[in-house]
């Protein structure tokens, strides 16, 4: 296979991966943020304490987190068909990716928001602020550097998942590596895919770290910005599909 043959395949796969990851991240963040906040607010001693709701949400998130993505994807097929009218293609892959990403991001949000000093919440309560004010003016802005780090982790995890989604017709880089690298023994193309993924993940990580750090060190706040520990655990996952070839 020559470069001129590979190039259109690669660029199409890249754009498919980008589409899948972009939309699913958007949905995961939009839904995971309120869910993560609710996990904190409804907990014992929280502003909206509701133990039953907390247990229910916690359980849903746990199930969503612990289910292997490939099973989630298959289990969601009828739901995916109901939403997008099909179970094949990039748009169809966004549905399980988003649903897998929501509980993932929600847990990260929960951890970040829990780290906000309770004294700040109390100060705003003493000013006469209501719960919504506290969420908007304290919990979210104060945990923003950590939330951005969580978003970076989510994007990288979703790139890993998107490789799996690709194998069942979602397209993208994972699909390319399996179809050409594994089934047609095009080792060269497979390695290029791996390289593209590695570069993409490094760039995303760098951008995320930079943004989190910039916000964190605002006003010369001392101490290092929160590190992303999930990256190392997730990276082989993303490349794993390629290595299987």
The footprint of another protein (CB under 8 A) covers: 47-49, 117, 119-120, 122-131, 133, 137-138, 141-142, 144, 215, 218-222
Structure tokens, 208: 């995320």
Residue 123 CB, shortest distance to another protein, in Å, is 4
Q: What residues contact residue 65 under an 8 Å CB cut-off, 6+ apart?
A: 103, 104, 107
Other C-beta atoms within 10 Å of 56: how many? 12
- 8 Å CB contact between 146 and 112: yes
Structure-block tokens of residue 174:
């994972």
Angle of CA points 154, 159, 165, to nearest 5°? 120
In the complex with another protein, which residue's Cβ is closer, 10 or 47?
Answer: 47
Name the residue nearer to another protein (CB basis): 114 or 137. 137
Query: At closest approach, how far in Å is the CB of 112 from another protein?
Result: 13
CB nearer to another protein: give 65 or 221. Answer: 221
Question: At its nearest, how many Å lie between another protein and the CB of residue 146?
Answer: 11
If the CB atoms of residues 21 and 138 are measured against another protein, the closer one turns out to be 138
**Half-sphere exposure of residue 74, counting CA atoms within 13 Å on the CB side?**
5
Q: How far apart are CA 76 and CA 104, in angstroms?
A: 17
Of 68 and 141, CB closest to another protein: 141
3-41 vs 140-165: helix axis angle to the nearest 10?
Answer: 140
CA 86, CA 231: separation in Å to the nearest integer? 32
* CB of 54 vs another protein, minimal distance in Å: 14
Minimum Å gap between C-beta 131 and another protein is: 7
Closer residue to another protein in complex, CB, 47/168? 47
CA 26 to chain centre: 9
Supply the minimum distance, in Å, between the C-beta of residue 139 and another protein: 11
Residue in the structure block whose two tokens are 């050409």? 180
| Residue (77 or 124) nearer to another protein, CB | 124
Per the CB < 8 A criterion, the answer to whether 240 and 166 are in contact is no
Residue 37 CB, nearest approach to another protein (Å): 16
C-beta separation of 70 from 164 below 8 A: yes
């Amino acid at each position: 296979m020559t470069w001129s043959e590979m190039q259109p395949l690669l660029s199409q796969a890249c754009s498919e991966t980008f589409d899948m990851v972009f939309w699913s991240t958007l949905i995961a963040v939009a839904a995971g943020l309120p869910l993560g906040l609710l996990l904190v607010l409804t907990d014992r001693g929280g502003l909206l304490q509701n133990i039953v709701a907390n247990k229910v949400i916690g359980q849903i998130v746990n199930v969503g987190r612990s289910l292997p993505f490939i099973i989630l994807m298959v289990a969601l097929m009828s739901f995916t068909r109901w939403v997008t009218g099909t179970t094949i293609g990039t748009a169809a892959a966004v549905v399980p990716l988003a649903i897998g990403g929501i509980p993932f991001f929600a847990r990260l949000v929960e951890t970040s928001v829990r780290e906000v000093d309770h004294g700040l919440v109390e100060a705003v309560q003493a000013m006469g602020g209501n719960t919504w004010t506290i969420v908007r003016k304290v919990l979210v802005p104060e945990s923003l550097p950590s939330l951005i780090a969580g978003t970076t982790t989510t994007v990288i995890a979703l790139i890993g998942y998107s490789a799996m989604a690709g194998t069942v017709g979602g397209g993208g880089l994972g699909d390319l590596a399996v179809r050409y690298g594994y089934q047609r023994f095009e080792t060269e193309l497979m390695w290029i895919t791996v390289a593209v993924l590695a570069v993409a993940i490094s760039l995303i990580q760098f951008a995320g770290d930079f943004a989190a750090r910039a916000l964190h060190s605002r006003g010369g706040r001392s101490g290092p910005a929160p590190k992303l520990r999930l990256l190392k655990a997730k990276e082989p996952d993303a490349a794993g599909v390629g290595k299987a070839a």
